[in-house]
Amino acid sequence: MKKIWVFLSLILLICSCSKKPVYTEAPFNGRDIRIELRGMPEKKPVFFTFHSGKKGINYFVLKLDGTVQSYFDACSRCYPKKLGYRLDKEHVVCRECDITYHISDLKDGIGSCYPLKLEGRIEGESYIIEKNRILEGEKYF
């Protein structure tokens, strides 16, 4: 009986660790995504999922030193695994290859495992990502 529980636990662990993460959806008005900046934390990426048909496109938005940046939760090297990144203090860590990047270095984007840039803009108190921009990353998900 103990062997069965060990086996089932191992299967559960493998399945849960290999699943693509799913996050909350940001407000979408049919044309663009609008993320309110007022309550957004400084120096901590906030992850979201945009649903396009049956696919979920994951991305994160980062408020850092008076700027706002956004990235797909994927890189050009590891995206086939569809695991994205996890947060570790002030770092994002690739869930596939375990490469770590400090959040202040993300805008440089040098290397094949850096998160892919997602274009957005600040409009008043909101960060706007146009639908066509997010759909450009659909192939990574």
For the chain, the straight-line distance linking the first and the last C-alpha, in angstroms and rounded, comes to 39
Whether 21 has a pLDDT exceeding 50, the answer reads: yes
User: Residue 93: is it exposed, middle or buried by C-beta count within 10 angstroms (0-12/13-18/19+)?
Assistant: middle
> Per residue in 81-128, pLDDT tens?
999 999 999 999 999 999 999 999 998 888 789 999 999 999 999 999
Integer Cα distance of 33 and 25 in angstroms: 9
* DSSP 3-state of 49: strand
| Predicted local distance difference test score (pLDDT) of residue 53 | 85
pTM higher than 0.85, yes or no?
no
- Per-residue pLDDT at 54: 82
CATH 2.102.10.10 holds for 21-140: yes
Whole-number Å distance between alpha carbons of 119 and 13: 35
Write the pLDDT tens digit of every residue in 27-68. 999 999 999 999 899 999 999 999 988 889 999 999 999 899
